[in-house]
Amino acid sequence: MKALRIALLFSALITPALGKDSAVPPLPPDVPENAVLYSFLMSGNMAGQQAIWKSAAGSTQVFFQFNDRGRGPRIHSTYRLDSDKTPIEISNKGVDYYKAEVAETFHREGGRAEWKSTSEQGAAEQTQGKFFLSLQGSPEETAMLARALLAHGGRIDLLPAGEARADTARKLVVKTGGRKQTVRLFSITGLDFTPRDVWLDSADHLFAMGDTWSMTIRQGWEGVAPALVDAQQKVMTRRNAEFAKKAARRPEGALAIRDASVFDSETMQVTSGQTILIEGNRIRAVGANVEIPVGATVIEAKGKMALPGLWDMHVHIMGNDGLLNIAAGVTTVRDLANDVDELAARRKRYGSGEEIGPRIIAAGFIDGPGPYQGPTKMLAATEAEARKYVNMYHDLGYPQIKIYSSLEPEIVPKVYEEAHKLGMRVSGHIPARMTAAQCVRLGQDEIQHMNFIFLNFMPDVQETRTPARFTEP
C-alpha cells in the first residue's frame, strides 16, 4: 500500500491527471515570454500559476491564479521597492479566492505611508525601513519579505503592525532532469501561529513555498516538491519536539486535580469541590472525598472548571494545529481530508509525545477527476478505482470515507456499498447532479455542510462544484 501511495504522489506531480477538462486556467496574453513561471500544485495536481517579470519602468509585475473547485484568486500585482528591499508601492487588482473584487494599494513617500483595500484603510508616519504586508499578496511577496529580512539582519518591523523574524532553517541541493539547484529554507515567524516557510535559490529568488496541501514551485522543478516538504517537515518536527519537551508535563504516577468545579455533560450540572484522580490513561475517581495516593502530582483547581475534552468534528490538521487544539481544550478531532502519509506520521508523533496534539479520527477522502476535483490524489474515475481506494483506507485503519463533489453519480452508491461491507461509515458532500435525499436513500450516513441540505430543495442548481453551492442557498 505504501508503494501505491508513493507511486500515486509522483505520478500526480510529474504528469498530473486533470480529467476530461483541464483544471488549470490559461495565463493571460499580456504575460511576456521572458516571465519567470511557477506552478501552483494542490495535493500534487497542477491547479494554477505564478508569473514574475519586470516592467519597462523597472517595477516587479506578478500574476497569480489557481483553480480550487471553481474558487481561487486571479490577481495582478505591481511592486516597487526601496534600496533596503522594503515596499514603496504595491497594487493588487483582480479577484480573491471567493471571486470578490480586489483593489488594494499601498504607497510610501518620505516617512509617510498610506494603504487602502476593500477591507481596510490606514496611514502611518515614520515608516521608513518597515515592510507592508498586503492582504491579497502573491507568494512572491513572501519571498520579498524574506529578502528584506536578509537585508535587515533577520528582523523587520511590519505595517500595519508587528514584526517578523527569520532564520535559515535548512540548505538543500535538489536535482531534476540533469540540473541541480542549491536552495535555502527560511522560516518566518510573526505572521501566523505557525512559521511561514519559503525556499530561495542561490540568487535569493523564490524557488518554492507551500506544503502537501498546496505549493508554488519554479516551473520544471515540480518533481522535487516531496523533497522540499520532507525537509520542512523535519524542521517542524524538531521544533515541535523541543517545545513538547519543554512544555508538556507527564506525571510518572497518579495525577489529582483537587477542589475543581466539575461539569457533567450528561446531567448538565456543575458540582464544586471535586477531586479528579487520573492514573495512566483513565479517570479512576471523581468526588468530594477522593483519596489522593502518596506521591501523586496534585493540581490545585479551586475556582477553576474541569470539563470533558472537546471534540472538533471537522478539521484538516496541519502545522501546529495540534498544539492549538490542546490549548483550547480540544482533545479529539475528526480529520476529513488530508495527505495520507503526512497524517499517519503526525498521529504517530502525537501518540509518542514527540509533538503535542489531540487524538485523530481520520476519514479517507475520495473525489472524481476533472476541473473541480478536490485536493486529493485519490481520484476515482471508475467503480474499480473507487472500491480500491475504499479498501486502501480500510487497510490503513480509517473508520470512515468522505466523498466529494466530482464523483460521478453512478459511482457513488458503489462507494457506499464497499464501505458498508467493510464496516465503515460514509460522509461528505452531495456530488454534483445528485440531491441529499438521493444520497441518504442510497446509503450515505452523514452530510457535511448545511448548504447541501438547502440545495436538496433547489433542483435547478445542478452544478454544485462551483461557488454556486454557497451563493445559491
For 85-119, the DSSP string reads: S-EEEEEEEEE-TTS-EEEEEEEEETTEEEEE-SS
Distance (Å, whole) CA 103 – CA 399: 46
Residues 62-121: pLDDT tens digits?
999 999 888 899 999 999 999 999 999 999 999 999 899 999 999 999 899 999 999 999
User: How far is C-alpha 304 from the chain's CA centre?
Assistant: 34
Distance (Å, whole) CA 106 – CA 134: 8
- Are 367 and 346 within 8 A, CB to CB? no
- The one-character DSSP state at 58 is S
- The one-character DSSP state at 203 is T
- Are 436 and 447 within 8 A, CB to CB? yes
Distance (Å, whole) CA 35 – CA 33: 6
Q: What grid cell was written down for 59?
A: 517595477
Distance (Å, whole) CA 468 – CA 455: 10
Which helix (DSSP H) or strand (DSSP E) does residue 235 occupy?
A: helix 225-247
Query: Which pLDDT does position 22 carry in this prediction?
Result: 53
Query: Which pLDDT does position 163 carry in this prediction?
Result: 97
User: How far is C-alpha 449 from the chain's CA centre?
Assistant: 19
Query: Which pLDDT does position 212 carry in this prediction?
Result: 84
Distance (Å, whole) CA 263 – CA 325: 20
User: How far is CA 305 from each of CA 185, 272, 276, 286, 292, rounded to the nearest angstrom?
Assistant: 43, 9, 12, 14, 19
Whole-angstrom Cα Rg for the chain: 25
Q: What grid cell was written down for 151?
A: 537585508
- Are 315 and 335 within 8 A, CB to CB? yes
pTM for this model (two decimals): 0.78
- Are 400 and 424 within 8 A, CB to CB? yes
Amino acid at 65: Q
User: How far is C-alpha 80 from the chain's CA centre?
Assistant: 30
Which helix (DSSP H) or strand (DSSP E) does residue 381 occupy?
A: none
Distance (Å, whole) CA 297 – CA 257: 9
Query: Which pLDDT does position 4 carry in this prediction?
Result: 35
- Reduced to 3 states, what is the DSSP secondary structure of residue 142? helix
Q: What grid cell was written down for 189?
A: 515567524
Query: Which pLDDT does position 169 carry in this prediction?
Result: 78
Residues of the chain with pLDDT under 70: 1-22
Distance (Å, whole) CA 410 – CA 245: 51
Phi, psi values for residue 433, rounded to 5°: 70, 20
Overall size of the chain counted in residues: 473
User: How far is CA 467 from each of CA 40, 67, 71, 348, 447, rounded to the nearest angstrom?
Assistant: 20, 11, 6, 36, 18
Query: Which pLDDT does position 18 carry in this prediction?
Result: 37
Query: Which pLDDT does position 11 carry in this prediction?
Result: 33
